Amino acid sequence: MNWSAALPTFVITLREGVEAALVVGIVLAYLKRVGRSQLHLWVWAGVGVGIATSAMVGVGLSQLVQGLGSASQQYGPVVEPLLEGLFSVLAIALLTWMLVWMTQQSRFLKSQVEGAVGKSLQRQTRQWGIFILIWVAVLREGFEAVLFITAKLQEGVVPALGAIAGVSAAAVIGIALFRLGIRIDIRQFFYGMGILLLLIVAGLVVTALGLFDTALSTLAHLDRKSEALCFFYERFSKQPACILGPMVWNTSKILPADRFPGILFSAFFGYTDTLYVVQFIAYLGFLLAAGSLYFRSLGKRPESGRLVHPRVE
């Protein structure tokens, strides 16, 4: 079993889980401060339902991919990688957007969450307002991880195990912050996680293009009318891919992607021992574009480098 496939989902769910834990901790601390500790139960209900909903979405997407892939015996080998490629694109877009958006909004997170809680407390259905606030926060972070795991379906259940470990680690960090009062430099944590997440998502760009190439290449072999889709076959004589152009390198004998340490590079950074021109250009292009947006979004320093909240009993 390839346990290295659990590492990217562990990193992503750890980061997204800590974001959700911060929202939960801020809400719990605020409710205690204003004498509304009896609403804590609704907070934990929102957390539980949010995690359950994310898991249900993940199972549903997995069943959709497998169902559509097996619906047609002839085109099943085309549909499954095509769908996984589409989910990869969605995961790339959502993870990148959330990375940049959350970095920009992090300095205002506490005031925004407390403002939303304050408005909910003014309504008669205050408990449902708290529940929905937490449920949406957890589901938002969970949906990103679910899309990433769905895009990695070909690697089996291992990515899901990595996600469970990431959520557990995020819960431990949340407890350390809000119940034990441990000081953690949360700004540096998100800075490091952000850089690692950029590299992981850039690797997903390579994987997505490989999935599209596999789908179209298989389609071209199954249906001669679709042979024109593989336009690089006619333009390059030496090892071209269907839509990815000529090969940049083949390091399968020097650093195979299915053996250590290549297997770790593959898990974290999308390393492949057979890289093609289009993948290489897309990888660098994504890093330059998304990286510049991310580092620009860091902008001003947040209100406090260390996030410290009162203990939540």
3-state secondary structure 89-131: HHHHHHHHHHHHHHHHHHHHHHHHHHHHHHHHHCCCCHHHHHH
For the chain, the first-to-last Cα distance in angstroms comes to 41
Predicted pLDDT at 32: 87
Question: Is 79 inside a domain boundary?
Answer: yes
Read off the pLDDT band of 154 (50, 70, 90). Answer: low
- The helix (run of H) or strand (run of E) holding residue 299 is none
Question: Is 47 inside a domain boundary?
Answer: yes
Question: Is 56 inside a domain boundary?
Answer: yes
> For residues 142 and 49, which has the higher predicted lDDT (pLDDT)?
49
Does 131 score more than 80 pLDDT? yes
Mean pLDDT of 54-81: 76
Helices (H) and strands (E) in the chain, counts: 9, 2
Question: Is 313 inside a domain boundary?
Answer: no
253 burial (CB, 10 Å; 0-12 / 13-18 / 19+) is exposed
- The share of the chain scoring above pLDDT 90, in percent, equals 13
The overall longest dimension of the chain from CA atoms, in Å, is 74
Which residues, at least 6 apart from 95, have a Cβ–Cβ distance to it below 8 Å?
A: 12, 144, 147, 148, 197, 201
Read off the pLDDT band of 114 (50, 70, 90). Answer: confident
Does 137 score more than 60 pLDDT? yes
Whether 184 and 306 have beta carbons less than 8 Å apart is answered as yes
> For residues 112 and 313, which has the higher predicted lDDT (pLDDT)?
112
Q: Which of 55-69, 91-105, 158-172, 280-294 has the highest mean pLDDT?
A: 280-294
> For residues 308 and 113, which has the higher predicted lDDT (pLDDT)?
113
Residue range 215-258, pLDDT digits in tens: 888 887 777 666 677 766 555 545 567 888 888 888 888 888 77
Predicted pLDDT at 280: 93
Question: Is 84 inside a domain boundary?
Answer: yes
Please state, in angstroms and rounded to a whole number, the distance separating the CA atoms of residues 34 and 50. Answer: 25
292 burial (CB, 10 Å; 0-12 / 13-18 / 19+) is exposed
Does 305 score more than 50 pLDDT? no
Mean pLDDT (the chain) is 80
Lowest mean pLDDT among 33-37, 97-101, 163-167, 258-262: 258-262
Instruction: Give just the sign of the alpha carbon dihedral 1, 217, 61, 19.
Output: positive
Does 307 score more than 50 pLDDT? no
> For residues 159 and 310, which has the higher predicted lDDT (pLDDT)?
159
Does 286 score more than 90 pLDDT? yes
Residue range 69-81, pLDDT digits in tens: 666 666 667 888 8
Give how many domains the chain has, as a whole number.
1
Does 306 score more than 50 pLDDT? no
Q: Name residue 247's beta-bridge partners.
A: 276
Mean pLDDT of 281-293: 93
Q: Count other Cβ atoms within 10 Å, centred on residue 45.
A: 15
Read off the pLDDT band of 15 (50, 70, 90). Answer: confident
Mean pLDDT of 19-46: 89
CA angle 133, 135, 137 (to 5 degrees): 70
> For residues 67 and 192, which has the higher predicted lDDT (pLDDT)?
192
Question: Is 31 inside a domain boundary?
Answer: yes
pTM (predicted TM-score)? 0.78
CA angle 153, 61, 87 (to 5 degrees): 65
Domain enclosing residue 51, as ranges: 3-298
Question: Is 305 inside a domain boundary?
Answer: no
